[in-house]
Amino acid sequence: MIQVTKSILPDIKEYIAYIEGIWASGHLTNHGPLVLELEEKLKKYLGVKHLFFVNNGTIALQIAIKALGIKKEIITTPFSYVATTSSICWEGCKPIFADINASNFTISSAEIEKKITSNTEAILATHVFGIPCEVEKIQEIATKNNLKIIYDAAHAFGVKYKKQSILNFGDISTLSFHATKLFHTIEGGAIICNDDDLAHKISYMRNFGHNGQEAFWGLGINGKNCEFHAAMGLALFPKINWIIENRTQKLQLYDSILKKNPTLFRPEIADFITYNAAYYPIVFESEEILLTVKKILNENQIYPRRYFYPSLTTLNYIEKMECKFADNISKKILCLPLYPDIENEIILKICNLILNNIQQN
């Protein structure tokens, strides 16, 4: 059975060595030594100033919204995982959808400008499939209109934009370290920022607002992560470059075959982007063709994912807003299996099944 992704695991002996250290110290959570070590290693690897390891990527978004003091409207994308929108609603804010770019499926800066009102306080944009947003144009819009920027960078671990970390744009970026991500801690996430005062606020907010055992700095939540999850991250850390390099090789193999068919569309990745090969999405000419291909793949024990589907404009707890391109593309896009140790023969089989069924249609 070939799933859309497969979690990478370290040598079990390496992980057990960290677990034995936890047993010896008795320090299980509350900013233990492994959490602190992982934070320092990730800051250096990713080239960021402040990084806070939290218990998942969703709480990272919620803390980001709260830390920036956002209470009203947030312009966001309808083409993302549901957590991007649900975090906005959970924090009592109102999501306002702006449509996406036809070239790479990230939120359109031109559409953002059209959606700004007197109630707009922020932009929450997603680096979709790890492909960077129009960060410079979005910054210009935010500066002009006095808006905050949060980037959902759940897919963008290790991505660089014009040779600098994509995580250094905006006021806050968030990461997911869920088991399905290219770098994971089983469950986990991170909050990244460069502003010292904002980092100081986040450091308290992720720990109930504690300022020592008997005092409180202010409102907080339990966003901490534990030593066991940090241990997984540390055990995988030396494999990061190997993971990205192997994913890239597999992506290039897909490209070498599927790009020959003009009916299949892939999101564009500019030359100045250092990509992480997070996903392999393809767009079919119609939803009918997609469903036919998906059925054939499933019959061969291959399970791609309709990612992202449906469009977040269809959620039943938000005000209905039409985003024609996002609504259309979400019906025709499919993410194919991609992970470092997927066999080349499997990729060839997937490609042949796709191409043969497209020709028949």
Domain co-membership, 137 together with 243 = no
At residue 361, the pLDDT reads: 62
- In angstroms, rounded to a whole number, what is the distance separating the alpha carbons of residues 286 and 302? 20
At residue 137, the pLDDT reads: 98
Domain co-membership, 296 together with 206 = no
- In angstroms, rounded to a whole number, what is the distance separating the alpha carbons of residues 209 and 222? 9
User: Span 115-121, mean pLDDT?
Assistant: 98
- Please report whether residue 1 resides in a domain: no
Domain co-membership, 29 together with 155 = yes
At residue 309, the pLDDT reads: 96
- Please report whether residue 198 resides in a domain: yes
- State the residue range of the domain holding 84: 7-238
Reference 158, options 184, 139, 119; nearest CA is 184
Reduced to 3 states (helix: H, G, I; strand: E, B; else coil), residue 11 is: coil
CB 135 within 8 A of CB 150: no
Rg, Å, the chain Cα set = 21
- The CATH number given to whatever domain includes residue 73 is 3.40.640.10
Chain-wide mean pLDDT for the chain?
A: 97
- In angstroms, rounded to a whole number, what is the distance separating the alpha carbons of residues 274 and 256? 19
Domain co-membership, 131 together with 39 = yes
> What is the per-residue pLDDT across 27-60, written as a single tens digit (0 to 9) for each?
999 999 999 999 999 999 999 999 999 999 999 9
Residues contacting residue 122 through CB under 8 Å, at least 6 positions apart: 65, 68, 70, 74, 75, 147, 148, 149, 150
pLDDT for 148 beyond 90: yes
Would the CA dihedral through 335, 78, 182, 104 be positive or negative?
positive
Domain co-membership, 139 together with 288 = no
Give me the amino acid identity at 220: G
At residue 213, the pLDDT reads: 81
- In angstroms, rounded to a whole number, what is the distance separating the alpha carbons of residues 105 and 37? 36
At residue 136, the pLDDT reads: 98
> What is the per-residue pLDDT across 266-290, written as a single tens digit (0 to 9) for each?
999 999 999 999 999 999 999 999 9
User: Span 179-191, mean pLDDT?
Assistant: 98
Reference 73, options 356, 277, 318; nearest CA is 318
Reference 67, options 174, 179, 226, 216; nearest CA is 174
At residue 211, the pLDDT reads: 86
What string of DSSP letters covers 213-275? SS-B-S---B----HHHHHHHHHHGGGHHHHHHHHHHHHHHHHHHHTT-TT-B-----TTEE-
The residue written with tokens 């939803």 in the block is 287
User: Span 160-176, mean pLDDT?
Assistant: 98
Domain co-membership, 219 together with 334 = no
- In angstroms, rounded to a whole number, what is the distance separating the alpha carbons of residues 123 and 236? 33
Q: Is 284 buried (19+), middle (13-18) or exposed (0-12) by CB count in 10 A?
A: buried
User: Span 156-181, mean pLDDT?
Assistant: 98
> What is the per-residue pLDDT across 210-267, written as a single tens digit (0 to 9) for each?
887 888 888 999 999 999 999 999 999 999 999 999 999 999 999 999 998 999 999 9
Domain co-membership, 356 together with 232 = no
Domain co-membership, 219 together with 277 = no
- The CATH number given to whatever domain includes residue 333 is 3.90.1150.10
* Model confidence pTM above 0.95: yes
Domain co-membership, 198 together with 63 = yes
- In angstroms, rounded to a whole number, what is the distance separating the alpha carbons of residues 266 and 259? 8
- Please report whether residue 2 resides in a domain: no
Alpha helices in the chain (DSSP H): 12-25, 33-46, 57-67, 82-90, 109-115, 135-145, 196-205, 227-236, 240-258, 287-299, 324-330, 344-360
What string of DSSP letters covers 290-326? HHHHHHHHHHTTEE-B-TT-S-GGG-TTS-----HHH
Domain co-membership, 64 together with 132 = yes
pLDDT for 327 beyond 70: yes
